[in-house]
Amino acid sequence: MKPDRERIAELRRLIRHHDRKYYIDAAPEISDYEYDMLVAELRKLEEKHPELITPDSPTQRVGGEPLEGFATVEHRLPMLSIDNTYSEDEMREFDRRVRRLLESDEVEYVVELKIDGLAVSLVYEDGLFTLGSTRGDGFRGDDVTTNLKTIKAIPLRLEPPKKGFRMPAVLEARGEVYMPIAAFEKLNKEREKEDLPLFANPRNAAAGSMKLLDPRTVAGRHLSICIYGLGYTEGLEVNTHFEALNLLRSLGLRTNPNTRLCPDIDEVMDFCNEWEEKRHSLDYHIDGMVVKVNSFEQQELLGATSKAPRWVISYKFPAEEGITKLKEIKVQVGRSGTLTPVALLEPVHLAGTTVTRATLHNADEVARKDIREGDWVAVAKAGEIIPQVLRVIKERRTGKEKPFKMPQTCPVCGEKVRRVPDEVYIKCTNPLCEAQRKQRIRHFARRDGMDIEGLGPAVIEQLVDKGLVDDFTDLYHLKLEDLVALERMGKKSSENLLGAIEKSKSRDLPEVLSAMGVEHIGTHAAEVLAEHFGSLDGLARASSEDLEKIEEIGPIMAESIAGFFHSPAGKKLLKRLKDIGVNTRSLARARPKAATPFTDKSVVVTGTLSGYSRKEAEDLVKELGGKVSSSVSARTDFLVAGDKPGSKLTKAQKLGVKIMSEEEFEKLFTSA
Ligand code: IVH
């Protein structure tokens, strides 16, 4: 057995190696499971020997307590911006100017993608990541080191590319932090469920995440980075930008593989046009290309204006936008009372879809862009996702346009509204507001909440308007005659709805909890909490300190949950749900009545199944009394293997665990 100290060093080396394979080279060598096992082993050893923990250990990415604020950092070399061009003519003009100033036609260019995120600086001293900052005003930015450390694509220590390599005393890498589109969509979906304001595009989401004070929340934002150049360095010899990119990559920093060294402007344009065509094939948003003179000597000769270097230019893609008339600005009231102005538009065709509404985000945004009812506006799909109003075509104003003012009272209940301190949004202060009540009931009934089929917006509208339902607990007291009396509700559909309401009482704990709509608690947090506490009673007893200790539960969530369950209203709601007979315990822990082939069996599901998602298959196993585990061990009874089962299959074979195909699995549970 190796001494712990050696094993710790070995584990760190292995994890660093696999991080690099996964995040930098996109060529993983081991499964996620095997990777998690290495990290778990390291954590355990570090718990045993806290004195051996170093700041660059892979376990130290998510730092301790939230910060009070960010310190200011002065950049050793200013972070300048870039001049933009919008046409091939302007690009050729740039090339002519460069050659004229250099008095040479021997100019090579490096062409890169222009990722739409935020610029950051990463300082490595003797190979160790010591300081990360935002661009700020170009001279001074914020120290966001703890936030940047949570990004796994940022190595905490640089790897010498070969034996005998002298690590530079100081190496500053500059790059763009961004949020991949999938992470952005997922984040906004979560925020929508939690009734939080949505981010307009991936860039705002990335920039907003960098401003968060709690690194745990940042870690959940799934940010990434591409390094596009050097800043201040000491002890480094490189002559060209292309060489610098290769060196940065060989040190373990993530550069963009879609980069080309071009001998002349014709090839530069070819590469730019190629990417303008296929830009939507990327999993992040780019708004153009960046073209840089390759030779550092030539860069120096060209120098900079006060604003931007003369050796670099960006070629911006035209935004995919359409022009249409804004008919009306409507104010929507969300589940927790947030007022959101929404533009109702004459239909316009954009990037393959017809757009009739666009979010205006908040009153500040409407004022900043001076958007009025009746205006002609340019709309675009921000980050190709949510339609938004880009700008007003002021030339087309007739004078009849109506300026917009955020209402001083709630447009639905008429109560006063209030501005949330330090925030841009405005909320209705009346928890009994009809709009909020309707939204809460909708949220309660949605598919991944209580899943009450047949309880759509039209029915909820009538139930609340007629005073039959004030909050979602009243649903359980509805009678057949109440429902039959509603518009467009026959006897059959009323009976079905009553059946669906009754059935919802046995939903599992995560769904019940997320349906309750506690602020900041979305589906994922609900799952984490259900798993941890096993019952609403257990959760209700927890203090905010207890909650904060749970991984993935940040201080804002903890505060919200404890605040809710300790409040008289929260206590009353919990009691009412229990009196009604709504399930308040984790079904995964309860036993089904009759024995099935899965009773007490430990089951692992791996690979892709054709008929179910992994979660659906696992839920089936749990319903039939089985236990689901994510890893194969000698205690595993069955491994259900779908397509591309990976390392779990190999491990199961080694341990002699029974392996089941999807068909066998299906047969077994249909017989149960
Ligand atoms: S070079 C002095 N390269 O674009 C040159 N910038 O509009 C410094 N950006 O602030 C920047 N991709 O945030 C460079 N491949 C790339 C880039 C890039 C995105 C951003 C960067 C910069 C902004 C300027």
Strand order across the beta sheet in which 109-115 lies: 83-85, 312-316, 286-293, 109-115, 260-262
Quick: pLDDT tens for 426-463.
Answer: 999 888 899 999 999 999 999 989 999 999 999 999 99
Q: Answer whether 225 contacts ligand 1 (Cβ < 6 A).
A: no
pLDDT of residue 576: 94
Q: Answer whether 223 contacts ligand 1 (Cβ < 6 A).
A: no
Distance 92 CA to ligand 1 centre (A): 20
pLDDT of residue 351: 60
Homologous superfamily, domain 4-60: Helix hairpin bin (1.10.287.610)
* CATH classification number, 434-587, choose in 1.10.150.20, 3.40.50.12280, 1.10.1740.10, 2.40.30.20: 1.10.150.20
Please say if the pLDDT value at position 579 is more than 50.
Answer: yes
Quick: pLDDT tens for 64-113.
Answer: 777 888 999 999 999 999 999 989 999 999 999 999 999 999 999 999 99
Q: What are phi and psi of 379, to 5 degrees?
A: -120, 150
Distance 615 CA to ligand 1 centre (A): 41
Q: Which fold has domain 602-671?
A: Rossmann fold (3.40.50)
Long-range contacts of the stretch 49-53 (C-beta < 8 A, 24+) = 49/4, 49/5, 49/8, 52/4, 52/5, 52/8
Q: Answer whether 288 contacts ligand 1 (Cβ < 6 A).
A: no
Question: Among the atoms of ligand 1, which is closest to the Cα of residue 256?
Answer: 15
What is the architecture of the domain spanning 84-316? 2-Layer Sandwich (3.30)
Q: Which fold has domain 321-403?
A: OB fold (Dihydrolipoamide Acetyltransferase, E2P) (2.40.50)
**Cβ partners under 8 Å of residue 541, min gap 6:** none
The secondary structure of residue 20, as a DSSP letter, is I
Token look-up 């909650």 returns 547
- Would you kindly state where each structural domain of the chain is located, as residue ranges? 4-60, 84-316, 321-403, 434-587, 602-671
Q: Are 562 and 544 in contact (CB under 8 A)?
A: yes
Q: Are 372 and 400 in contact (CB under 8 A)?
A: no
* CA dist., res. 627 & res. 638, Å (int): 10
Quick: pLDDT tens for 178-228.
Answer: 999 889 989 988 887 777 777 878 888 999 999 999 898 999 999 999 999
Q: Answer whether 387 contacts ligand 1 (Cβ < 6 A).
A: no
Confidence of residue 504 (pLDDT cuts 50, 70, 90): very high
- Residue 366, token pair as written in the block: 């409407």
Q: What are phi and psi of 260, to 5 degrees?
A: -135, 140
Closest Cα partner for 209 from 288, 142, 283? 142
Token look-up 């001083």 returns 408
Give the SS3 label for residue 377: strand
- Residue 295, token pair as written in the block: 């030779």
Please say if the pLDDT value at position 591 is more than 50.
Answer: no
**Cβ partners under 8 Å of residue 422, min gap 6:** none
pTM confidence score: 0.62
Q: Which of 114, 152, 381, 622 is an active site residue?
A: 114
- Residue 464, token pair as written in the block: 């609340």
Tell me the H-state helices in 20-56. 32-48
Q: Answer whether 114 contacts ligand 1 (Cβ < 6 A).
A: yes
Closest Cα partner for 102 from 292, 304, 301, 309? 301
**Is position 114 annotated as part of the catalytic site?**
yes
Residue nearest to atom 19 of ligand 1 (CA): 114
With b for 16 or more beta-carbon neighbours within 10 A and e for fewer, the 416-452 pattern comes to: ebeeeeeeebbbbebeebbbbbbbbbbbbbbeebbeb
Ligand 1 pocket test: pick from 86, 110, 114 the residue with the most ligand atoms within 8 Å of its Cβ: 114
Q: Answer whether 304 contacts ligand 1 (Cβ < 6 A).
A: no
Residue nearest to atom 9 of ligand 1 (CA): 114
Ligand 1 pocket test: pick from 83, 110, 176, 271 the residue with the most ligand atoms within 8 Å of its Cβ: 176
Q: Answer whether 119 contacts ligand 1 (Cβ < 6 A).
A: yes
